[in-house]
Amino acid sequence: MPTMPAGTLYRGKVGMWSWVLHRITGVAIFFFLLVHVLDTALVRVAPEAYNVVIATYQTPLIGVSELGLVAAILYHGFNGIRIALIDFWSKGAKYQNVMFWVVVGAAFVLFAAFAPRHLMHVFG
Amino acid sequence: MSVVIETPNSPRSKKQANWEKYGWIYMRVSGAALVVLILVHLISNLVVPEGGIKAINFAFVAGKWADPFWQWWDLAMLWLAMIHGTNGMRTIVNDYTEREGVRKTLVFTLWGVCAALVTLGTLVIFTFDPCPIGASLEALPSFCPAQ
């Protein structure tokens, strides 16, 4: 009788979903980076031009979206360290599952510290 | 022409420089640096200043770039993040494109955009004038002389 696949580092469960999330957050951060380099380049055009564009980052809609960006950066960065540890640490593959939850926990703690303060600034 | 993938369990057939390996190493080294660079960037721009994101304007940027430390910090972020992100996008394009022409066009476009933005950003950081002539005084940092 066939049994369910146990799940490996890359198929099913944490190994696969951490990879999917790493890709999605990576693409999102990449496109923000393109916009962010361009908006910062406006400081070379005129102070007023930069101030007009940066004011859109301070609106409620974009302000809330920035929480998503920060969450994506925290996850992508910490999970990237997990990937490097899987590659370079002799016990990395063995502890990849628990390391994923450490990544989620660390990202959540920093996000919880950042989010209320940021929302107070955006809506204050 | 379809994309050809080498058999993983046989030695590399090409004898040139192993660019895929250097790319693989780059992602890990730059990634570790970017975690520190970007966390400090977020804390110093969004958490430390009174008012957070509402405090960011031309005068704020001018105040930061008056210090070469932040110029070099932002330059490192620009180069490392743009190349890291472009190489990640290249990996995704390699994974999902089926036709070689489409793949080559997308990868060429990615590196073109990367080169353009890295050049633009580098020029902006080092040719930046915190007190441009003709700008309204209230938009400028307090250290600018009255015009």
Closest CA to A119 of B50, B41, B53, B60: B53
pLDDT over 80 at B68, yes or no: yes
What ipTM did this prediction achieve? 0.90
Question: CA-nearest residue of chain B to A59?
Answer: B54
* Domain at B105, CATH number: 1.20.1300.10
Is A73 within a domain?
yes
Total Cβ atoms within 10 A of residue B18:
12
Which of B36, B43, B61 is the mutation pick for testing A, counting most A CBs within 10 A?
B61
Is B131 within a domain?
no
Q: Tokens in use for B127?
A: 């040719």
Chain A residue numbers touching B121 (CB-CB < 8 A): 37, 40-41
Is A11 within a domain?
no
> For chain B, what is the radius of gyration of the CA atoms?
21
Confidence (pLDDT) at A1: 60
- The total domain count for chain B is 1
Q: Which domain holds residue A104?
A: 32-123
Q: Where are the beta strands (DSSP E) in chain A?
A: none
Q: Model pTM?
A: 0.91
Rounded to 5 degrees, what angle do the CA atoms A51, A57, A60 make? 130
Confidence (pLDDT) at A2: 65
Closest CA to B66 of B76, B58, B77, B78: B58
Shortest distance between the Cα of B3 and any Cα of chain A, in A, equals 21
Q: Mean pLDDT in chain B?
A: 92
Is A64 within a domain?
yes
Question: CA-nearest residue of chain A to B51?
Answer: A121
Is A36 within a domain?
yes
Q: Which domain holds residue B60?
A: 22-125
As beta bridge partners, residue B99 has B2
pLDDT over 80 at B86, yes or no: yes
User: Got the DSSP string for B31-81?
Assistant: HHHHHHHHHHHHIIIIISSTTGGGG-SHHHHHHHHTSHHHHHHHHHHHHHH
Distances, alpha carbon A2 to alpha carbons A5, A6, A8, A16, B106, in Å = 9, 12, 17, 22, 42
Is B138 within a domain?
no
Q: Which residue has the higher pLDDT, B2 or B91?
A: B91
Is B11 within a domain?
no
pLDDT over 80 at B5, yes or no: no
pLDDT means over runs of 10, chain A (124 residues): 63 88 98 98 95 96 97 98 96 94 98 97 92
Binding-site residues on chain A for chain B (CB distance < 8 A): 23, 26-27, 29-30, 33-34, 37-38, 40-41, 43-44, 46-48, 50-51, 54, 57-58, 63, 66, 70, 73, 77-78, 80-81, 83-84, 87-88, 114, 117-118, 120-122, 124
